Amino acid sequence: MKVNVYSINGEVKEEMERVILVGVSEQDGDDAEDSLTELADLVKTAGAKVVGTLIQKREKIHPGTYVGTGKVVEIAELLEATGATGIVCDDELSPAQLKNLEQLLDTKVMDRTLIILDIFAARASTNEGKIQVELAQLKYRLSRLTGLGRSMSRLGGGIGTRGPGEKKLEIDRRLINDRIAQLRRELAEVVKHRDITRAKRQKQNVPVVAIVGYTNAGKSTLLNHLTDANVLEEDKLFATLDPTTRMLQLSARQEVLLTDTVGFIRKLPHHLIEAFKSTLEEAKYADIIFHVVDASNSQREKQMHIVYETLDNLGVKDKKIVTLFNKQDIRTDNEPLRDFRADKVLAISATKEDGLEEIKTVLEDMLREDKIYIERVISYADAGIIQLVRKQGELISEEYVAEGIAIKAYVPMEIYGKLQ
């Protein structure tokens, strides 16, 4: 987020944007301050500098100007005092709020949604990710064009509504709608390919573990240290955006697929949830969920609630959950770590690789719960099925005897049927 500044000799220089953060606290004890702190991190990630913050306590957000008119005056004074180039509001602004604030403050007005979309646009690297981000951005832009169009139609013409302005608006709306339709077709093809890949996995009976969690909880670090995935690790919000799937080999050569998903955050824009639904739904089709929590963050309880709320909204239910309280190496408090929705809780440090072997043990135990223990002698003529046991089950031991190969193993129901 940089702005062009023109010097006296006509040279164009880029300067970092300086912004004021604006939030509304609708009741005592809400998370307005924490939300604004998080917004500051988002703005920093987007490449701007925070030069001031302002929170107004009011019963509800002002429908016309987000904050009250008196607070708008206060923002104008703060803009002048700090030399800020714009403001960022902590909620998604309506077209009317955006327009009114721009007119009253004569400055660039942004909202939380715009900042998150900006970060996503910078982070997307795969074709699917780029399509999803552009789709979300265009829907966001279209909703503002539509709002402006409605206000024009209510005026019924007259000064300020005639001429090329309204015509350009209609052209913009039509172009955006055409582009959205094209992106939806492209995304449908990508989703179709994803569904085919998922169906192949299910046919092969390879267990899938989805890694979910709040943004910057350490999901990519965990995936990297478990599987040598080489996914980007940064101490930034949404450092990785595109999902990564890697194979993890457990004991007895049992294979599991680990999928890293996009991080969750409070007030995640609905445009993004809709556009990224196919990516976020990886958790819906997983056998087990690894919920990674930043144990060093004082807001971990709230962040866990937001993760579960998002999973519920996506229809993710009846899944085995392992909550991994990560970043133990930098944790400073001694509060008990609990998650009543989890089947198992572990304290780990992905960076230091503390607790990783315990994760594998827990994973093996959970996978065994859905398998049947067998002791069989497989004839040498049917020895090929042992490879299937290795791939889809857990081969505990094998011994060559006169009648064939004596095995002890945990196998899924599909293989158990073939052994009868």
Q: How confident is the model at residue 237 (pLDDT cuts 50, 70, 90)?
A: low
pLDDT reported for residue 166: 54
Q: In 3D, which of 293, 306, 297 has the Cα closest to residue 338?
A: 293
Q: In 3D, which of 315, 310, 329, 312 has the Cα closest to residue 218?
A: 329
Q: Specify whether the CB–CB gap between 241 and 354 falls below 8 A.
A: no
Q: What are 20's strand-pairing partners?
A: 52, 87
Structure tokens at 208: 């899938």
At residue 42, what is the residue type? L
- Taking the C-alpha atoms of residue 76 and residue 342, their distance in angstroms, rounded to an integer, is 48
Of 175-179, 209-213, 239-243, 291-295, minimum mean pLDDT range = 239-243
- Owner of token pair 């608006």: 169
Q: Specify whether the CB–CB gap between 41 and 108 falls below 8 A.
A: no
Q: In 3D, which of 59, 43, 61, 63 has the Cα closest to residue 51?
A: 43
pLDDT digits (tens, 9 = 90+) for 352-392: 999 999 999 999 999 888 889 999 999 999 888 888 888 78
Q: Where is pLDDT greater, at 200 or 189? A: 189
Q: Specify whether the CB–CB gap between 122 and 240 falls below 8 A.
A: no
pLDDT digits (tens, 9 = 90+) for 22-80: 999 998 878 889 999 999 999 999 999 999 999 999 999 999 999 999 999 999 999 99
Q: How confident is the model at residue 2 (pLDDT cuts 50, 70, 90)?
A: low
pTM of the model: 0.81
Q: Specify whether the CB–CB gap between 136 and 272 falls below 8 A.
A: yes
Residue 259's contacts (CB-CB under 8 Å, 6 or more residues apart) are 208, 209, 210, 211, 243, 244, 245, 282, 286
